Structure 1
Amino acid sequence: MTRARLEKGLIQVYTGNSKGKTTAALGLALRALGHGFKVYIIQFMKGSSYYGELFSLQRLYPDIQLAQYGRNCPHDPMIRQGEMQCVGCGGCFVRKGHATEQDQVMADRAMERAREVITSGDYDIVILDELSNALWFELVTIEAALELLKAKPDHVEVVITGRNTPPEILEKAHLVTEMREIKHPYQIGVPSRRGIEY
């Protein structure tokens, strides 16, 4: 039996300074899975194993697959077990101008994997989570990202998430959604919450 395939795959971007970009992409993945499509998620600059979606997606394997290419949080085990909250210590985040050689190697591997997955013909939706941030931190060049999008077969939908999406990527996209912060619990001192922010 032949599985469902997209007739026309587009390029989507979820960007902006507020919460919800990865969440929106994951919602799209869940919807696509319900119609028999196969999804692959590549997370740039994310390596922590305490994100709730990682546990959910394991249950949906092999129809949704995920690969992470980023730093691990030094508090991973404690956060995963619910014994502490993410404290934003910065141990798992790259700071502009402070990327390491390892950060660059991970971004290069993520791009290699993205090209393999997008051109394989095995997946209908490919989510490049935080690619925009990898571009912002200059771990990926705009030229390399545009070349990757150019290699996309017609039947593959590509979703890019992250803050500070470059204009060249926005121009190439068919759908762009900006998450704009109007109000956030952080503003009143509410820290990241398990199951909501991670």
Structure 2
Amino acid sequence: MEKELTEVYCGNGKGKTALAIGQSLRVATQGKSVIVIQFLKGRDQRSLDFLQDVDNLDFKIFRFEKRECCYEDLTEEEKAEEKSNILNGLNFARKVVVTQECDFLVLDEILGLLDCGIITVEGIADILKHKDESMHIVMTGWNFPEELRPYVDVITTLNTEEVHPLDANE
């Protein structure tokens, strides 16, 4: 069995989550189990939920935040409440890695938790230290801290283009 990778998709460009989901779908169609844990996106990001209902795919999506809107749009009081929910999501992510509950794990926007002060680099490193060679992990977020480099095999940086197709009004 070949060693599975830990990958990061970072940068200020669009498409990090789409890239991670595309990879996870490819893996799921090969009969492997996939878990996606999304952070900082609120509960309103339900556009991917249909994937859990596709026959013959072992594909699960988890969001631990209770509010509909994104974390950055919350009041300080709401952020404090959501932080507790997010920490539950991080504990779940740690459990998934420790118990090797899936073949492919996406930690969508986990790096953004660093920017918000919800988790430390050491907290993410602690999750990655438990990774078995049979599990593939993809992490997304804007900023990649160099302190995590020893735990990561591939870093892909997506930068904003002057004109991005998703921004075009034509």
| Contact 2:29-2:57 within 8 A present in 1 as well | no
Residue correspondences, number? 167
SS in 2 for 1:94: helix
SS in 2 for 1:138: coil
Give the 5 Å matches for 1:1-198. 7-59=2-54, 63-73=58-68, 91-94=69-72, 98=76, 100-182=79-161, 183-184=163-164, 190=169
Separation of aligned partners in 2, 1:156 and 1:163: 23
Deviation at 1:71, TM superposition (A): 4.7
Separation of aligned partners in 2, 1:13 and 1:131: 10
Residues 16-36 of structure 1 deviation map (CA, whole Å, 9 limit, x = unaligned) = 101100000001111101221
Residues 5-55 of structure 1 deviation map (CA, whole Å, 9 limit, x = unaligned) = x63121100011011000000011111012211111111122324432122
Counterpart of 1:127 in structure 2: which amino acid?
V
Separation of aligned partners in 2, 1:19 and 1:101: 28
Deviation at 1:95, TM superposition (A): 5.9
Separation of aligned partners in 1, 2:42 and 2:61: 11
Separation of aligned partners in 1, 2:56 and 2:85: 23
| Contact 2:52-2:58 within 8 A present in 1 as well | no
Residues 169-192 of structure 1 deviation map (CA, whole Å, 9 limit, x = unaligned) = 24531111111111236766x4xx
| Contact 1:107-1:140 within 8 A present in 2 as well | no
Counterpart of 2:38 in structure 1: which amino acid?
Q
| Structure with greater Cα Rg | 1
| Contact 1:97-1:137 within 8 A present in 2 as well | no
Task: Give TM-score, length-normalised by structure 2.
Answer: 0.86
Task: Give TM-score, length-normalised by structure 1.
Answer: 0.75
The answer for unaligned runs of 5 or more in structure 2 is none
| Contact 1:21-1:162 within 8 A present in 2 as well | yes
Separation of aligned partners in 2, 1:15 and 1:96: 24
